Amino acid sequence: MSKQQNYDVLIIGSGGAGLSLALKLADQYQVAVLSKFALTEGSTFYAQGGISAVLDSQQASIESHIKDTIISGAGLCDPDIVRLTVEYGKQSIDFLHQQGMEFTGRKNKQGETELHLNQEGGHSERRIVHHADATGKSLSLSLIDKATQHPNITLLEHHNAIDLITAHKLGFKQQRVLGVYVLDTLSNQVKTMSANTVAIATGGANKVYLYTTNPQISTGDGVALAWRAGCRIANMEFMQFHPTCLFHPDGHSFLISEAVRGEGGKLILPDGSPFMQHYDSRAELAPRDIVARAIDHQIKKHGLDCVYLDISHKPADFIKSHFPSIYKQCLKLNIDITQEPIPVVPAAHYTCGGVMTDSYARTDIAGLYAIGEVAHTGLHGANRMASNSLLECLVFAERASEDILRQDHSHPIPTIPDWDESQVIDSEEEIMIAHNWDELRRFMWDYVGIVRSTQRLLRAKHRLEILKNEISDYYQHYRINSDLLELRNLVIVADLIIRSALARKESRGLHYTQDYPELDETQSAKNTILTPPPE
């Protein structure tokens, strides 16, 4: 008897993109949302800064947001996608208001309450809507609350997607998604879930690096799922390193928001001297790639463990009211940011490349969508501007919903074969997974990090080939678990990053290589597009 579970729409991922899409579709369809761990474990929940959005109707404000985004993207943004995204800004914030989300406000000169706007790196003006310094948490909890109450939304925590099911894999000529094989990690049972529409909203791939601001779940699952199913992947060389991650043995990679620099925080050396003015006229408000490389250079030049971010010159009440979460977290580690600077280092933060989509979030496979950080829409180019990520989640959830609601969902889905475990056994060598996981993340950090070279990339490529063979063999012979699934996906992501980095013979945005340190002005900027081999 088949274990097949049928839905109209399956959404893999429970962050801002996935839950927004679910809420936009649930009045019309039966929707299931798969969450690899708890609903609050995604990157959205931990986002601090805010959402960049033009809330007035002035065309100059829209044009300014577009210009800033394109400048940050270092020549690789799609101008049409940038304009589309920016023009959806107010609509996106209105949607969140409707879901019950509250934003930080203040009284204007007329005594009226208006939204407080932050300014962050790359932005030429204040346009960051936020909820103190915990915007992602507020957004997540609002969407979870609404989704929990909706009768047509099934929230499935601790469900890890194994592979997409496509018609082509079942022997049909058309290339269409039919569903997903899913591991219920609590029961350790594999479920077969079918749907005419599947949306990948799994976030980024930054756990491929040893040091990251991301939560444990950011293992590139969606990119790997789409690649194995036959989707093109673009611009994976552009991995953004957030300049300011708390440096502390007990800090657990806590992010220090870009907004701290936006409100006057200064990057300094241990002797108190500033250094960003030597790298960019915008100093602390330069785009993240410039700031991260500057910090990396200073750490290596002076043999430091970290640099420092100092906002202690601001009034204590100002700091506590603007950055309550950061203040409390640092205080737990005996760092009083009202009195002393914060030790910081760069850490892997955001995946600017991903699954190629069009302006409606459609991928190369019919019925399959990709939204949020997992997708390459053309918005971010070679470097994402601060706080454009949550905006992208909301905008492309809306665009995908518009397209999905127009589709014919009546065509029947064939019976899908259940997951076959008859040829595998339980493993008694779990140490292999842990060792390979650690080795992969270490050589990616050492060889494919903020500053690269062809020699380092080739060294990483060689090490990766050995790991790929070991993990493939292990996957074929032993029963799956979440650690194995994540390692299998991380190896694919690492391969895509290395191949993309080797293909780009220039330094642009987030990709900096010592062998080609200059921007290649001899030809127009091009995306790095990788196509899966035919089955």
Q: Where are the alpha helices (DSSP H) in 336-411?
A: 388-406
Distances (CA, A) of 418 to 193, 227, 367: 10, 22, 21
Fold of 1-49+133-238+352-410: FAD/NAD(P)-binding domain (3.50.50)
The 3-state DSSP class for residue 330 equals: helix
- From first CA to last CA, the distance across the chain in angstroms is 29
- Number of CB atoms found within 10 A of residue 6's CB: 15
Walking along the chain (535 residues) 10 residues at a time, the average pLDDT comes out as 84 98 97 96 89 91 96 96 97 96 83 83 91 94 98 98 94 91 95 97 95 90 98 97 89 83 96 96 89 92 94 97 94 96 95 98 98 98 94 98 91 88 82 91 93 96 95 92 95 98 95 94 87 87
Q: Which of 386, 350, 405, 355 is nearest to 31 (CA)?
A: 405
Using an 8 Å Cβ cutoff, are 180 and 191 in contact? no
Instruction: Please report the pLDDT score of residue 2 as a whole number.
Output: 57
Nearest alpha-carbon partner for 49 in 131, 146, 166, 144: 131
Residue 498's alpha-carbon distances to 235, 460, 507, 528, in angstroms, are: 11, 8, 15, 12
Q: What does pTM read for this prediction? A: 0.92
Name every residue whose Cβ is closer than 8 Å to that of residue 255 and which is 6 or more positions away in sequence. 46, 48, 213, 242, 244, 245, 246, 347, 349
Matching residue, tokens 């959005």: 53
Domain 243-348 and domain 431-516 have a common topology: no
Distance of alpha carbon 124 from alpha carbon 67, whole angstroms? 9
Catalytic residue set: 288
Please report, for the chain, the start and end positions of each structural domain, with discontinuous segments joined by +. Answer: 1-49+133-238+352-410, 243-348, 431-516
- Can you give the pLDDT at residue 1? 45
Angle, helices 16-25/135-149, rounded to nearest 10 degrees: 30
| Interhelix angle 135-149/388-406, nearest 10 degrees | 20
> Rounded to an integer, what distance in angstroms lies between the CA atom of residue 85 and that of residue 67?
13
Secondary structure element (H or E) that encloses residue 350, with its range? strand 342-351
For residues 522 and 57, what is the distance between their CA atoms, to the nearest angstrom? 39
Q: Do the beta carbons of residue 320 and residue 337 sit within 8 Å?
A: no
The topology (CATH level 3) of 431-516 is Methane Monooxygenase Hydroxylase; Chain G, domain 1 (1.20.58)
| CATH C-level class of 243-348 | alpha beta
